[in-house]
Structure 1
Amino acid sequence: MELPLVSIIIPIYNSEKFIAEAVESVQKQTYHNWEIILVDDCSTDNSSSIVLEMMQKDERIQFHRLNTNSGTGIARNLGVSKASGRYISFLDADDLWKPKKLEKQLNFLKENNLPFTFSYYDWIDEDGELLNKRVEAPQNLSYRQLFFCNYIGNLTGIYDVSYFGKMEISPIRKRQDWMHWLSVLKKIKKAQAVPESLAFYRIRTNSISASKLDLLKHNFAVYRNFHGYNFGVSLLCMSGFLFTQLIIKPLYCKSI
C-alpha cells in the first residue's frame, strides 16, 4: 500500500544561516514520502544558491521564487498552490523537525480518524542550543481556547487536504499562522495534539517572538482586522488574550 504524500511548505527570506539544517531535518525523517516546496521571498543573501544545490541531490525538493518581497503568507500560499500531497505541513527556514515528526503525526491522524493535528515543541537559540523550555498545549484544544492564545506552533501543524482542501493563508505579514489555525478549528471545533515534542522552534533576537510589545500590537490587529471586531470589542478580546498569555499559557510551558 502506497503511503500518502506529505507536502512541506518552507518560506525563505535571507535564511542562508539556517536553511540547509531545516531541509536536512526533513530529509532525516523516518517517513520518506514527502516533497519540500521552498518559496524564496526575494532573499538578498545566498539562500537560493544553497537550496538549488540541495535540489540537485534530492528530487523531492522544489524551489520557487516570488517576483517581489511579499511576506510569509504570500510565500506560503504559493507553496500550497504547488503542493501535490494529501497532507500539508509547514516549517520555517530557521526551525527544525525531530526525526519521527511525520511518522508519529500521521499515525496519530490515522489512529484517531482526524483531519488535523499538531504537537508540542522545544525552544532552541540561534546556535541550535536547547533553551530548556518545552511549549505544550491543551490535549483537546477548542476554538475558544485558540481564540485567546495561539497554542499551535506553526512548525507542528499538519492537515488533510482531502478534508479541508488547500486552505488559503492570510497575506497579512504578521500572525497569519494563528489566523490559519483559527480557520481550521472554526471548521472542526476541537483539535487533538500529539502529546510530545516533535520539533525545535528557534528563538532569534530580531524575531516577533522576541518583542512582546510588537506581539500585542499584531494580536490586536487579528481581532480588529481578521475577526472584524470594532475597537472596543477588540480591546475586550485583548484583555482575554493577556489573561491567557500571563496566567494560563505559562502552565503549558515546561522546563526540560
Structure 2
Amino acid sequence: MPVYNNIKYIQESIDSVLSQTYINWELIIIDDASTMNIKVVLDDYLCDKRIKYIRLNKNSGVAAARNKGITLAKGRYIAFLDSDDLWLPNKLKLQLNFMQKKGVAFSYTQYRYFKEDDDSLYKIIPIIKSIGYKDLLRGNSIGCLTVMLDKKVITDIKFPGEKHEDYILWLNILKQGIIAYGIPLDLARYRISNTSITSNKFKSLIWTWKVYYSNQKLSFLKSVYCLFCYIVKGIIKHK
C-alpha cells in the first residue's frame, strides 16, 4: 500500500484489509516521504504484527513505493491496494482459492468506482474471462486494486517509473506468454477524487499513447489503432 499525505482515507483502506475473511496476509505500507505525519494515524494498527510501515527517505513516486513493498513482501502472492481504495471482505479468500484451484499466476476481478465523500456506487466494471498481450493492447480492463500475482511463476514484478505504470507492468507480464484470468465477482472499490488520474482524460490519452509508441515500441499505425480501441473501450467502461 503506497501512501503520500493521505491521512483522510488510509484508515478506511487498512480497515478493509483487516476485514478480510482470509487472515494470513501481510500488509506493507510504504510512505513515499510524506510531508504529513502519516505514522501518527497508524500507531494503533501497527500493534498488529501483520502490518508493516516503511518510510522512504525521498519522494520517489507510486511505482517506486510499490516496488519497495514488493521487495519486502514475504508471501508468494502479491496484491495491490492504494491508500484510498477498498477491498470487500471476501476478496483475498475468493481470489486465492481461484488461483490455487486453477493453477493461475495472474488474476483480477470486477470492481466499482465510487465518488470521494459519497457512498453512491457506479456500475460494475466489466471484465473478460481471460486476456493475453494482444488483447490488453486494445485497452486496460485490469484494475490494479483487483490484481493478484504469483511470484513463484512471475519472478520479475516491477512497476516502471512512467505514467500508467500498472498498465505497462501488465503488458510486460503478458508479453512473456502469461494469461491474466478475470474472476466475475465484484470485490473492490476504487475511489474517484477531483485530483485522480481518472478525472483527467486528456493527460491519460497522452500517457497511453506513450505506452504504445515509446514503451511497447509499436509502429505508429499500430499505436494509433490501439489508442482508438483504448478510447472506445473507455467509453463503454464508463458509460
How far has the Cα of 1:136 moved from its partner? 1.7
- Cα deviation, residue 207, structure 1: 0.5
For each residue in 1:186-238, what CA deviation from the matched residue of structure 2 results, as whole angstroms up to 9, or x when unmatched? 22443211111100010111100011111101111211322134656533432
1:169 maps onto 2:167 in alignment = no
> In structure 2, how many angstroms separate the alpha carbons of the residues matched to 1:224 and 1:53?
46
Contact 1:140 1:193 in 2 (8 A): yes
Q: Secondary structure at the match of 2:223?
A: helix
Number of aligned residue pairs: 239
Task: Find out whether 1:89 has 2:43 as its counterpart.
Answer: no
For the residue of structure 1 that corresponds to 2:145, the secondary structure is coil
Q: Give, in whole Å, the separation in 2 of the partners of 1:221 and 1:48.
A: 36
> Which residue of 2 is the match for residue 196 of structure 1?
185
- Correspondence for 1:5: none
Q: Does 1:70 align with 2:60?
A: yes
State which of 28, 31, 44 in structure 2 corresponds to 1:40: 31
Note if contact 1:122-1:130 (Cα within 8 Å) is conserved in structure 2.
no
Report what 2:2 is aligned to. Answer: 11
> Aligned-pair distance for 1:11?
0.3
Deviations along 1:74-95, whole A, 9 cap, x unmatched? Answer: 0111111111001001000000
SS of residue matched to 2:42: helix
* 1:219 paired residue number: 208
Candidates 14, 18, 27, aligned match of 1:27 = 18
Alignment partner of 2:195 out of 179, 182, 206: 206
2:177 is the counterpart of 1:184: no
Q: Secondary structure at the match of 1:34?
A: coil
Deviation at 1:125, TM superposition (A): 1.3
Which consecutive unaligned segments of at least 5 residues does structure 2 have? none
2:106 and 2:179 in contact (8 A); partners too: no
2:69 corresponds to which of 79, 85, 92? 79
1:193 aligns to what SS in structure 2?
A: strand
- The one-letter amino acid paired with 2:67 is N
Q: Post-superposition shift, 1:253?
A: 5.8
Percent of aligned pairs with the same amino acid: 37
- Given that residues 140 and 230 in structure 2 are in contact (C-alpha distance below 8 angstroms), is that contact kept between their aligned partners in structure 1? no
Alignment-mate amino acid for residue 215 of structure 1: S
Q: How far apart in 1 are the matches of 2:45 and 2:101?
A: 34
Q: What is the identity, as a one-letter code, of the residue corresponding to 1:114?
A: V
* d(CA) in 2 for partners of 1:193, 1:177: 16
Kindly state the Cα deviation for residue 110 of structure 1 after the two structures are TM-superposed: 1.6
Shift of 1:48: 2.6
1:68 offset after TM fit, Å? 1.4
What is the CA deviation profile of residues 131-165 of structure 1, one whole-angstrom value per residue up to 9, with x for unaligned ones?
Answer: 23211211122322211211000000001111112
Q: Partner residue of 1:237?
A: 226
Query: Which residue in 2 is equivalent to 1:61?
Result: 51
Once residues 98 and 245 of structure 1 are traced to their aligned partners in structure 2, the CA distance between those partners, rounded to angstroms, is 24
Q: Is the 8 A contact 1:120 1:137 kept in 2?
A: yes
Preserved CA contact (<8 Å) 1:97 1:200: yes
One-letter amino acid matched to 1:199: A
Tell me the CA shift for residue 53 of structure 1: 3.6
* TM value normalised by structure 1: 0.87
Matched, 1:149 2:139: yes
Q: Deviations over 1:96-145 (max 9, x none)?
A: 00000000001111221111111000111112513232112111223222
Superposed CA RMSD: 1.8
- Equivalent residue number for residue 6 of structure 1: none
Aligned counterparts of 2:2 and 2:143: Cα–Cα separation in 1: 16
